[in-house]
Amino acid sequence: MISIDPAKSALEKLPHGPEFRFVDRVIEVDPGVRGVGLYTVRGDEVFLRGHFPGEPMMPGVLIIEAVAQLAGVVAQCDRRQQPLDGLKLTAVRAIKILGTARPGERITLRATVLARMGGLLQARVDASVGDRVVLQGEITLAGVVPR
């Protein structure tokens, strides 16, 4: 495990703007191996106005994005590998959306790197709210190995 500062730096280097980041804080990271992060649904996110009026909840696809961002942080702070340029989510496999999060709820995100080859990274991911698992599956991220 390393201190969280390199993880914070890796989060800031993801290609997303701050308004599309779904990891508030990385609380554990074993660089290149696994990580745990948190995202709290504040209630003022624009997407909640339409999903769903009068009964707001975090869309499952954004929970997938959140775990993908965490997986990117785990990969990008690995000191044994060169960070990938333009790292992006490119595939989802066997994803099960088992629930959601509502305003005021905190989502615990987990990502474990299964394999990395060149610019490809495969990870097992899950998300939970309290003791409820709300998402699980595997994702692939792709980026460009800098020359």
User: Is residue 2's pLDDT more than 60?
Assistant: no
User: Is residue 12's pLDDT more than 90?
Assistant: no
User: Residues 53, 24: contact at Cβ < 8 Å?
Assistant: no
Any idea what the CATH number is for the domain that residue 95 is in? 3.10.129.10
Residue 49 and residue 84: Cα distance in Å, rounded? 35
pLDDT tens, residue by residue, 54-113: 999 999 999 999 999 999 999 999 989 888 999 999 999 999 999 999 999 999 999 999
CA angle 57, 38, 63 (to 5 degrees): 40
What's the confidence (pLDDT) of residue 102?
Answer: 98
Which pTM was predicted? 0.93
Please count the structural domains in the chain.
Answer: 1
User: Looking at the annotation, which residues are catalytic?
Assistant: 51
Domain encompassing residue 139: 4-144
Which stretch of 22-31, 104-113, 127-136 has the lowest confidence by average pLDDT?
22-31
